[in-house]
Amino acid sequence: MSARKQLPVALTIAGSDSGGGAGIQADLKTFAALGVHGASAIACLTAQNPKRVLAIEPCSPKMLLQQIEAVFEELNPHAVKTGMFYSAENISVVANFYKNEKCPLIVDPIFVSTSGARLLEPKALKILKEKLLPLTTLVMPNLFEAEILAEQQISSIEEMREAARKIHSQFGCAVLIKGGHLESKAQSQKSKATDVFFDGKTELLLSAPFVKDVRTHGTGCVYSAAICAALALGNDLPRAVQIGKKFVTRAISDSYKIGNHFALKFF
């Protein structure tokens, strides 16, 4: 009998999306597509669809911690990503747990949904900045989130580069600013979606053709999950970021229709 293949484990700590397009559901699909075993710790439940978020209910801090402990006890994750926390208490749970962990941690600092719903309590931002980001390997803000973290306006790629350096200097982690929604004179035609990566030594400008006439849900979740999976497979951070960019670009390009909405394609 031949030996069975052993897969690396990636853990997502995030919210559950009842519509299946983002959050835990999207993360696990991404992990499977990239050949890693996906484990999960649900930080909150949402009642949502591609159009709107109807309700949010955070998991109790005790239960969130027990989920994380259960995974680490037997599965030994090779990389971890976080998504929607919603509550300050649950950010503190992860930060306190991670003080003693060494595996890579990817933070997708989800503040607001694509539909405009607030997905992070106002008081939680302070905890995220003070407790979690200093323990993080890579933080992946979109433009709105990067403006808050860097405390500056961003309207060009040069300002994205400046903001990435500010965030790295303040928190000590690598930064990937997602520029898909950048609206500037340089990108008035939106011919390319450009992201900026900076880890203190290496800077990457990651560009891909902008996919027109497709409005997708969950791209940030998929992007961060793909990077997490690439790290779990043994890639270094710059290479993992490039793999993530390629994966999410293809997922958008190959997206399909569900009802009146678009969904990302994972396989």
* pLDDT tens-digit readout, 164-178: 999 999 999 999 999
CB count in 10 Å sphere of residue 152: 12
List the catalytic residue out of 15, 23, 179, 220. 220
Whole-Å CA distances, 165 to 77, 158, 160, 178, 224: 29, 11, 9, 14, 20
Assigned domain for 3 exists: no
* List 216, 228, 244, 249, catalytic entry: 216
| Cα–Cα distance, 81 to 231 (Å, whole number) | 10
Does the annotation count 216 as an active-site position?
yes
From the number of C-beta atoms within 10 Å of its C-beta (0-12, 13-18, 19+), residue 43 rates as buried
- 210 vs 79 pLDDT, higher one: 79
Q: Is 212 exposed, middle or buried (0-12, 13-18, 19+ CB in 10 A)?
A: exposed
- Asked if residue 4 is part of any domain, the answer here is no
Mean pLDDT of all residues in the chain? Answer: 90
d(CA 140, CA 145): 9
53/117 Cα distance (integer angstroms)? 6
In a domain, 77, yes or no: yes
Mapped onto helix, strand or coil, the DSSP state of residue 101 is coil
Tell me the per-residue pLDDT of 54-86, one tens digit each, with 9 for 90 and over. 999 999 999 999 999 999 999 999 999 999 998
Question: Do residues 144 and 183 lie in contact, with contact meaning Cβ atoms separated by under 8 Å?
Answer: no
218 given a catalytic annotation? yes
Burial of 213 (0-12, 13-18, 19+ CB in 10 A): exposed
Q: Using only C-alpha atoms, what is the Rg of the chain? A: 17
Q: pTM of the prediction?
A: 0.93
Model pLDDT, residue 91: 95
Residue 179 annotated in active site: no
In-domain check, residue 2: no
For residues 151 and 47, the answer to whether their CB atoms sit within 8 Å is no
Tell me how many domains the chain contains.
Answer: 1
Q: Is the pLDDT of residue 187 over 50?
A: no
Residue 13 belongs to a domain: yes
The verdict on residue 149 lying in a domain is: yes
178 is catalytic: yes
Q: Is residue 59 annotated as a catalytic residue, yes or no?
A: no
Q: Is residue 67 part of a domain?
A: yes
CATH number assigned to the domain comprising residue 53 = 3.40.1190.20
Both structure tokens of 166:
């500010």
For 187, the domain range is 9-263
Which residue in the list 15, 20, 218, 244 is annotated as catalytic?
218
The answer to whether residue 170 is domain-embedded is yes
- Considering the candidates 221, 228, 244, 245, report the single residue annotated as catalytic: 221
